[in-house]
Copies of this chain bind each other. A is one copy, B any other.
Amino acid sequence: MSLFEIRKMSAHLPDPAPRTGGPGSPCSACNVRHLTLCAALDDREVADMSAIVSSVELGPGEPLFDEAEPAKHVFNVTAGAIKIYKLLPDGRRQMTGFLFPGDFLGLANDETYAYSAEAVTFSTLCRFPRKLLEPLLERYPRMERRLLGMASHELAVAQEQMLLLGRKTAREKVASFLLMLSRRAVQRGQKDNPISVPMSRNDIGDFLGLTTETVSRTFTQLKQGGAIALQSNGKVELSDRAALEVISEGA
């Protein structure tokens, strides 16, 4: 039983390009290997993984799977950005996470996905059939142990997000969000300052429990306060990180 949606530190190679799981060397060239599930494996063991893995590419907005659909695969993000979310019957949406290279997804406590997943930007992922991966987990306890660590980390992140959703103001939420993106960029080996914010205002709103308009107004407000500066192509400069830190914790 059971695999997850996970996030963890990542590499800093600019270009991913994963190959399909053929006979050659799919995983051995993986540039985010050291941060994901496979970090627990040696080269011989990675070969076992190669045998069952295949590659998926998604354009912006393309769905990966839907909530309640049979959970046949688990995935590892190798490039791009993925959003995962849950919906209410009337269409209200809550993002439960944004996933970047090195992150793991495909939770299936029962036999169906607990959320929907969709590409934010052009993305590539590697895909494992659950039925084939589970025996490997049994064979390599280190891998299962790693999964447990990743799940543990995910739980802590989820609790932090609950604190944000339940108790922070719009201003605090947006500041926290920007700092989180910055920290995660560093984990992936990117610069911490002009950060890339590839998702739309609407997506951000659905992640923070706000509307598009409130997110936009709050960006404007932070900009006018000198805490951030909006660059072109969706980049944001954290002009005053200390101020953001203070705001995010309840100034």
List residues of A whose CB falls within 8 A of some B CB: 1-5, 86, 88-90, 92-94, 96, 107-109, 114-115, 137-138, 141, 144-145, 147-149, 151-156, 158-163, 165-168, 206, 208-209, 249-250
Contacts and interface: CB of A to CB of B under 8 A. Distances in A.
Given A2-B153, A107-B155, A109-B149, 10 more contacts: A1-B149, A86-B160, A109-B153, A115-B159, A147-B148, A151-B151, A151-B152, A162-B162, A165-B165, A166-B209
27 contacts: A2-B145, A2-B148, A2-B149, A2-B152, A4-B151, A4-B152, A86-B160, A88-B168, A88-B250, A90-B250, A93-B167, A94-B162, A94-B163, A108-B152, A109-B149, A109-B153, A114-B155, A144-B144, A147-B148, A151-B151, A161-B162, A162-B162, A165-B165, A165-B166, A166-B208, A166-B209, A167-B209
A35 to B, nearest CB: 15
Contacts of A155: 4-5, 107, 109, 114, 151, 154-155, 158
B154 A94 contact: no
Nearest to A210: B166
B5 A96 contact: no
Number of copies: 2
Contacts of A138: 141
A49 B161 CA distance: 34
A118 to B, nearest CB: 15
